[in-house]
Amino acid sequence: MKSFSSRIIDWQRKHGRHDLPWQGSSGPYLVWLSEIMLQQTQVATVIPYFQRFIERFPDVTTLAAASEDSVLEHWSGLGYYSRARNLHAAAQQIASRHEGKIPDTLDALQALPGIGRSTAAAIAALAFGRTEAILDGNVKRVLVRHAAIDGWPDEKKVEAALWQLAESRLPQQNIAAYTQGMMDLGATVCTRSSPACDACPVQVDCQARLQDRCASLPVPRPKKILPDKHVQMLLLLDRGELLLEKRPPSGIWGGLWSLPELPADIDAMDGCRMRYGHNPHARQALPALRHSFTHFRLHIQPVCLHLEPRVPSVASPGQQWLTPAAALKSALPVPVRTLIHQFV
């Protein structure tokens, strides 16, 4: 029987994905960008964002020279915005410390913001042919099932064992095809539910299949009850314009433009007067929204307040008045974009 890695490489060449926009002779910049975008996001979702992003930022130099607002605007809707901020910071480091060239070693790649061990290894393998092991979610699933490894894969002890297993199966050559093959296999065949085992190149010695455990492996994340947080979002309307506020650089939606917020137990009209100095003369409650994060659920009660004309009309620092159509061109969180769409 051929080795595990040889079977993966053969399968990838015949059945793997070869037409993704960052494949071929696209160079390390596009590989790096794709790996960052693909963190916790599926390929089908990433592709249109990737294509729009490289139209605006075709290389490291252009990305490094851009404003953070512009980068976040082109990331808006993809989620996990710390990835965009780290990408921008990494581009600036590459421009200033590496003469605009993406480093090709694991240590140098990991020293850049937003690049962990697996992402660095993927860039090193796919862009530079370095023999490095990756361990993203798809690869974890393939290895867990093939070796019938018990335990939640993100648990430290289990993850350490998976790293050892991933490194032990690396090929001596064709590392890019192997790396892509492992990702492709997990994404298209060894899927989370209803895996297509008959199409798998390593099915013959897959322990989960032999033990009839494909449905129960990998062991799922331990269930955790998410806390609920409640907030009011104010759509302050004055002469056809909405007020947007820049969020702090860290925390949820860091660096994005959002709507003014008030605690859920404060009267919106009173809060508007006290916090923002604007006098509303009409109020309209809108349907509530719910948005889930990794660690909590956010319950949003939007309130539209029609204001008496403001004097002066200049916005305070960290704020801007825009028409709804212009606001939608800004870097906005998804639920805020949903709310503003109602006024276009």
Annotated active-site positions, please?
35
Query: Which tokens in the block code for residue 174?
Result: 């064709």
Closest CA to 314 of 256, 241, 264, 248: 241
Question: Scanning the structure block, which residue is given the tokens 């592709």?
Answer: 47
Can you tell me the distance from the alpha carbon of 342 to that of 237, in angstroms, rounded to the nearest whole number? 13
Question: Which candidate, 38, 36, 26, places its Cα nearest to that of 184?
Answer: 38
Contacts of 278 (CB under 8 A, 6+ apart): 236, 238, 272, 305, 307, 308, 310
Q: Do residues 72 and 53 make contact, with C-beta atoms less than 8 angstroms apart?
A: no
Q: How far apart are CA 22 and CA 54, in angstroms?
A: 10
Q: Which residue has the tokens 């990991």?
A: 110
Q: How many helices (H) and strands (E) does the chain have?
A: 15, 8
- Signed CA dihedral, 194, 200, 202, 203: sign only: positive
**CB-count burial class (<10 Å; 0-12, 13-18, 19+) for 135:** buried
CA distance 27 to 119: 16
**C-alpha–C-alpha distance, residues 278 and 234, integer Å:** 12
Task: Confirm if 37 and 63 have CB atoms less than 8 A apart.
Answer: no
- Phi, psi (degrees; rounded to nearest 5) at 243: -90, 125
Angle at 79 between CA 123 and CA 189, to 5 degrees: 55
